[in-house]
A and B are shown apart, each in its own frame.
Chain A
Amino acid sequence: MNLDLPLIWALIILLAVFMYVLLDGFDLGVGILFPTARNDGERDLMMNSVAPIWDGNETWLVLGGGGLLAAFPLAYAIIMPALYFPVLLMLIALIFRGVAFEFRFKATPSHRRIWDLSFTFGSVVATFSQGLVLGGFLQGFEVDGRDFAGGPFDWLSLFSVFVGAGLVCGYALLGATWLIIKTEGELQERFYRLARPLLFVVLGFIVLVSAWTPLYYPFIAERWFSWPNLLYLSPVPILTAALAALLLRALARRREIQPFVLSLGLFLLGYLGLGISLWPYAAPPSVTIWDAASTPSSLSFMLVGVLILLPIILFYTGYSYFVFRGKVRSGEGYH
């Protein structure tokens, strides 16, 4: 039997990054929406809606990063120095945001403002820099031999800033629909009203990024717009439009679970679209997953672990979500 290990690993890392975007996406979104709370009670509720699970969610980022390091070290060695500053910005922002969960409840009222701001700005900046990373990744990297050969600000462009802004709105949508599930009454109503305009903004970003990426690389335009690919890939935009329509209806009918699930669906399709555009590059436009792959021995050694452990991880993560299901109410939390 001859397994294409780099292919399997590419799928595993795509899954890990996608899990990260979904899971940390909504809890970063809660941070982005934090300023919409009108008092400390609402802030407590919003924060407690993600407090038991955010840490597990963020672990997918470590798995995505660690997996890339382990499975495609050459890609890691090219991408990370190229994105030195966006990655730095993301890490610093995640520090401010992560400690806010603990510090906020330990602080005196006058200091609590600081950690409220730290949570909001940390979430916004972390998301924005993830958008910069994505934008920089889509633009590609200048490579010489086995090293990144470009400049420290190659990633900075109107396009990457645009992707960053789009991601902030996208995570805010995920956050709003998550909070619809977790809250009730007036607060919930506010997120219903907020989700609708957010959805339109997000759709605008999806359309513009979809139109913009083929301009960067002829091969992307080729892939999408040549016959018969056009036919095979047409479900992606059609489904996106359908999901958006369903989401609008679910919001109008004040459904509680559907908006979140449909927003996740939108993210999945956007992610698939990007995946189709960039396949099979681990560091576009020159390094493929097969160029960048680690040794077969490393890949199979880790694959054993993933096959055994990932189902267990998914099981207890699911259990944890089950334990903390339902509305958050004031007076809960360990603090």
Chain B
Amino acid sequence: MELDPELLSRVQFAFVVSFHILFPAFTIGLASFIAVLETLWGITRQDLYIELSEFWTKIFAVSFGMGVVSGIVMTYQFGTNWSRFTDAAAPIIGPLLGYEVLTAFFLEATFLGILLFGRGRVPARLHILASYMVAFGTLLSAFWILSANSWMQTPAGYELRGGVFHPSDWWAAVFNPSFPFRFVHMVFACYLSTAFAVVGASAWHLRRGSFPAHSRKAYAMGLGLIAVLAPLQLLVGDLHGLNTLEHQPAKVAAMEGHWETQQGAPLLLFGIPDQQAEKNRLQLAVPYLGSLILTHELQGEVRGLKDWPPEQRPPVAIVFYAFRIMVGLGLLMIFIGLAGLWLRWRGRLYDTPWFLRLCTWCVPIGFVALLAGWFVTEVGRQPWTVYGELHRSDSVSPSLAGGHVLTSLLIYIGVYTVIFGTGIYYLLRIGRQGPRVGALPAGKASARRPLSGADVALDEGDVP
């Protein structure tokens, strides 16, 4: 069997980027959470905030480390596996990534050092400032990388000359048509994913009765954020979808599972798309609702996949299912947000067992929804690397043989399984161990902590 370097390079990229994105998503959310906790400490001088901040900073540091090492892999893949894409698109993608390094990476890395090791070495205000710089860095990083990704989805501000994308309008390239929607959608997704992790960990401690004061605080903060952001995310997602309909209608057709162009299109709740037969099996649909959502008219026309030649259609089933997973989890998030509000109003927020259990189980839902969303948008834009302009087969490095890519892919799979499996295991252990309470001199930021303090408890295996 002939190994296809293009397909294997795509699998490899999908694999490393899917692993990678979980950690930045978590650290984008956590950095802002930590900055809020540090600020609250600065205002109230209550130890509780600083202890919570240190607890989540430990988790942040492990996730950030994994995000950094898996992220360096990404840039180099552009060159090693996608050299033709690099040659063609680097005049635009390159500066966007360059600005990410210059504005975000140095800021995050340097101030993280001060955030982690600087308490007691720098004035308290500067330590709070460091937490802001880290949070600001993570958001700047998201800004540039989403601008680059969005440019590949909805390219703008360029002229194609001799197979190379020459920038003609930087403003149009950076703020390309899908960027604002994708940026807000992604930042909300990061905040929601983090909120569910914080709420879930706190709910777990509340059920066990460990660290009640700290857990209540983090739990209430997280649920408050979810109650606000989950419904807003639905709105932003809808706007993002309408933007996609305008610029990448084939992707929307795959998301909706529409094969035929029709007026008054239904909304498919479920179905089994069949790419060969060009239809769905076991379809469960609500009439007219598809047109209503997409065009805001009952009889609005919605384009079907048959409008495009088969080789320009994305793999429908992946996009179709991933979209339903994302939306389903989004609705569950809204339910949890509203249920949290209801319980808070009834004064039962902290002692409703079924809800605490539900929150514990929901730790991963933000991350699953986020990955599903990325599968929708990335698989849905196939077969293009730069949408409508550069085909993926014109992007791959011509010197690669399938066997080489298979080798590196297997190495990545092996290493990532071991390293990130261990990392997630440590994250869970730190989470179960909970914050260190009462170890800090009250109100003073001179906590030179003993190196082994936190680790001894871990080593003795006090966690189930």
Q: Which positions in A face B, CB cutoff 8 Å?
A: 44, 48, 51-53, 55-56, 58-59, 61-63, 65-67, 69-71, 73-74, 76-85, 87-88, 91-92, 94-96, 98-99, 101-103, 105-109, 146-150, 152, 294-295, 297-298, 301-302, 305-306, 309-310, 313, 316-317, 320, 323-324, 330-335
Contacts and interface: CB of A to CB of B under 8 A. Distances in A.
A interface, over-half SS: helix
A106 B106 contact: no
Given A294-B91, A298-B91, A59 B75 contact: no
B114 A71 contact: no
Nearest first, the 10 A-B pairs at minimum CB distance are: A80-B79, A70-B94, A73-B90, A52-B113, A77-B83, A98-B69, A55-B109, A56-B109, A70-B98, A81-B397
A99 B69 contact: yes
Interface-centre pick from A73, A78, A83, A147 (highest chain B CB count, 10 A): A73
B105 A301 contact: no
Given A73-B86, A76-B79, A82 B450 contact: no
Contacts of B400: 81, 84
B97 interface: yes
B3 interface: no
A71 B106 CA distance: 19
B114 A323 contact: yes
B interface, over-half SS: helix
A323 B118 contact: yes
B451 A330 contact: yes
A56 B113 contact: yes
A88 B404 CA distance: 11
B87 A61 contact: no
A188 B307 CA distance: 73
A63 B99 CA distance: 10
A83 B454 CA distance: 42
A62 B401 contact: no
B411 interface: yes
Contacts of B122: 323
A149 B399 contact: yes
30 contacts: A55-B65, A55-B112, A63-B98, A66-B97, A70-B90, A76-B83, A76-B86, A77-B90, A78-B83, A81-B80, A84-B400, A84-B404, A91-B73, A94-B72, A102-B65, A102-B423, A106-B430, A294-B91, A295-B167, A297-B91, A297-B167, A298-B94, A298-B95, A316-B110, A320-B110, A320-B113, A324-B113, A331-B451, A333-B451, A334-B117
A333 B117 contact: yes
Given A52-B113, A55-B109, A59-B105, A324 B95 contact: no
B66 interface: yes
A12 to B, nearest CB: 10
A61 B451 contact: no
Interface of B: 54, 57-58, 61-62, 65-66, 68-70, 72-73, 75-76, 78-81, 83-84, 86-87, 90-95, 97-103, 105-107, 109-114, 116-119, 121-122, 164, 166-168, 170, 397-401, 404, 408, 411-412, 415, 419, 422-423, 426, 429-430, 448-455, 458-459, 461
B448 A295 contact: no
Contact of B101 (A66, A107, A150, A330): A66
Given A71-B94, A79-B79, A95-B419, A147 B451 contact: no
Contacts of A331: 448, 450-451
A121 to B, nearest CB: 13
B420 to A, nearest CB: 9
Given A59-B101, A109-B459, A148-B399, A69 B117 contact: no
Contact of A66 (B75, B121, B449, B454): B75
Contacts of A74: 87
Nearest to B422: A103
A138 to B, nearest CB: 18
Contact of B399 (A59, A61, A150, A302): A150
A108 B116 CA distance: 21
A147 B399 contact: yes
A306 B101 CA distance: 10
A297 B73 CA distance: 27
Interface-centre pick from B66, B109, B412, B458 (highest chain A CB count, 10 A): B109
Given A63-B98, A70-B98, A99-B423, 11 more contacts: A53-B113, A59-B109, A67-B98, A76-B90, A77-B397, A80-B80, A81-B400, A87-B79, A91-B73, A106-B455, A106-B458
A334 B119 contact: yes
A323 to B, nearest CB: 5
Contacts of A84: 80, 400, 404, 408
Contacts of B92: 298
Contacts of B94: 66, 69-71, 73, 294, 298, 302
B415 A95 contact: yes
Contacts of B459: 108-109
Contact of A91 (B72, B90, B458): B72
A123 B101 CA distance: 23
A320 B117 CA distance: 10
A99 B416 CA distance: 11
Contacts of B430: 106
